[in-house]
Structure 1
Amino acid sequence: MTWEEAVRWLCEHPDQNKRDLARACYFDGSPTDAAKRFHVSKEWEIVRSLLPETVGTALDLGAGRGISSYALAKDGWTVTALEPNDSSFIGAGAIKTIASETSLPITVALAMAEDLPFPESRFDLIHCRQALHHAGDLHKMVSEAMRVLRAGGTFLATREHVLTRKSDLRVFQDTHPLHHLYGGEYAYTLDEYRAAFAAQSPSRIEEFSPYQSELNFFPDNLDAERHRLARIAGVKPDQIPDFVFKIRDHYDSNPGRLYSFRVTK
């Protein structure tokens, strides 16, 4: 299947759990409705707290159907949405629909992230939601993003799949709900992400581990996880201390677990 066919399969599946997953991923409904729902989500609330205080020009890298592009523009950013898929359902066509229906400052660029059609130091912010792990050449994609980011600017990559070891890749792909349909999922080790960022000599690199931020936990949340652990342990949720999550972070080796990164040029 194509990526669009795989997403439609998920949205229209007779199993309610799969349709719920599609909604949790903002694949359901019209692009504009999904984008508006994303803008008021807990995820975007956390992302907003990680963005620069002063708005400016933003590149939404691997923008998908445009939910982050909408959220950035709604919050005052002038957005360029980069998306190589021209689909009107989950690609550049969907982003154009959002821009047309909302009159927000969103421009669409149909291009690959490893070869950005922009001059150096063009943007104040590079935003990348669940797209970095799709890179065919991770170092090239990061290098291009940092090239078009101005000095002092922010590169924010959120919810990226991480492996403990490369041999875990097949396990991650086998458990992914859509990979068996379209074969496009990938993940890198934490060291590979770190090396790609460090190669650009940024002034600062920050990591947010799976249990460190609810940004990496959606569609669940830390409160729900606390209740789950309490049921397993046979205690009340308030008896699960915060340090338990730090321990789980340290020992977590789940293939494809989510990390987020904030890099300052």
Structure 2
Amino acid sequence: MTTYTYEESVHWMRNQPEHSELVKLCYLDEENYIAAQRFEKSEEFTEIQKILELNNSSQKLKILDLGCGNGIASYALASLGHDVTAVDPDQSDDVGLAAARKLGSLVNNGSISTVQAFAESLPFSDSTFDIVYARQALHHFCDLYQGLVECSRVLKPNGLLLATREHVINDEQQLQEFLDNHLLHKLHAGENAYLLEIYISALSKAGFSKIKTLAPFDSVINHFPTSNAEITTMLYESLSRKVGKRAASILIKLPSLEKVYRYHLSRNCKFPGRLYSFICSK
């Protein structure tokens, strides 16, 4: 039986030495600014910038960080010079909107404004944002479809939704296995996962006509904390066993080979709660 709030659950985790690495990987450090700086410099955020073409944008964009949590992504996005609206139902000092507001005071170029709201009822006018970014948020929506309808509504024409690191399962048995093994769910509940088809169907019905799916090993966004370099090393070692190190050193330079390798890794990735991301436009 769960008795902790989300904030209390995080505090408990921080006090357990065996969970120190998990806390760091989840960007839940006690010093939130340190976590935000680490996320800003991560391979994950570098890839996000490429997908959203943030480095090529000469204009200040309006970005909705939906399910912002402690605001680490809001900080990274705002530090590029954009105006970020950080939305979350949790107002707590440590892992909610109050933490995001503190990070906002440290941004020099862009800005962070915070709004308490649920995804299913966003207090914004139609066509407000250039980008809706949601990191590990969709599976927390009370109503997946309604939350996505709201994402579509508040996006400008040709705007982008980037929903990252969404938990995927094959069936109800996998869902139960995923929940039974999720530490924060044991403490606080609130976790969830869906079949891949359910995500895609909900996105389509909500008004997104172009939906690109990133499988578990298509992008470092999903396979973090495994780095891109580690994937390349895995491929090299696999090739070395099959054709020898000399041939492997030549073959590893072929970009198409790593792409095929990643495809097969994703295809064979079946564990409950594996991570997918979605790039969508109206």
Provide the TM-score with structure 2 as the length reference: 0.86
Gaps of 5+ in 2: none
Distance 1:80 1:227 in 2: 39
> Does residue 1:176 correspond to 2:182, yes or no?
yes
Other structure's SS at 1:102 match? coil
2:163 is matched with: 157
Q: Distance in 1 between matches of 2:264 and 2:228?
A: 14
Q: Is the 8 A contact 1:22 1:28 kept in 2?
A: yes
C-alpha distance in 1, partners of 2:233/2:138?
32
2:276 to 241, 254, 259: 259
Which residue identity is paired with 1:247? Answer: H
Report if aligned partners of 1:31, 1:97 keep a CA contact under 8 Å in 2: no
Distance 1:244 1:58 in 2: 34
| CA contact 2:79–2:107 (8 Å) conserved in 1 | no
Report if aligned partners of 2:235, 2:261 keep a CA contact under 8 Å in 1. Answer: no
* 1:1-265 superposed matches below 5 A: 1-15=4-18, 18-52=19-53, 53-54=56-57, 55-102=60-107, 104-225=110-231, 227=233, 235=241, 238=248, 242=258, 243-265=260-282
* Change in 2 beyond 3 A, CA 1:42/1:250: same
Question: In 1, are the aligned partners of 2:70 and 2:94 still within 8 Å (CA)?
Answer: yes
In structure 2, the residue corresponding to 1:19 is in which secondary structure?
helix
Q: Deviations over 1:170-226 (max 9, x none)?
A: 111112232111111111110010011111332411111001111101111244356
Letter in 2 for 1:260: S
Deviation at 1:167, TM superposition (A): 2.8
* Deviation at residue 50 of structure 1 after TM alignment: 0.8
SS in 1 for 2:168: strand
Indicate the SS of the match to 1:70.
Answer: helix
CA-CA distance at 1:158 after TM superposition: 0.6
2:138 touches 2:163 (CA, 8 Å); kept in 1? yes
Instruction: Please report the TM-score for the alignment, with normalisation by the length of structure 1.
Output: 0.92
Percentage of matched positions with identical amino acids: 38
**In 2, Cα distance between the equivalents of 1:56 and 1:105?**
11
Paired letter, 1:44: F
Structure 1 residue identity aligned to 2:124: F
Give the 3-state SS of the residue equivalent to 1:216 in structure 2. helix
1:211 and 1:59 map into 2 onto residues whose CA distance is 26
State the shift of 1:3 in Å.
0.7
Unaligned runs of 5+ in 1: none
Answer whether contact 2:78 2:107 (CA < 8 A) is retained. no
For the pair shown, the structure with the greater C-alpha radius of gyration is 2
CA apart distance, 1:39: 0.7
Whole-Å Cα distance in 2 between the matches of residues 117 and 41 of structure 1? 31
How far 1:20 sits from its partner (Å)? 1.0
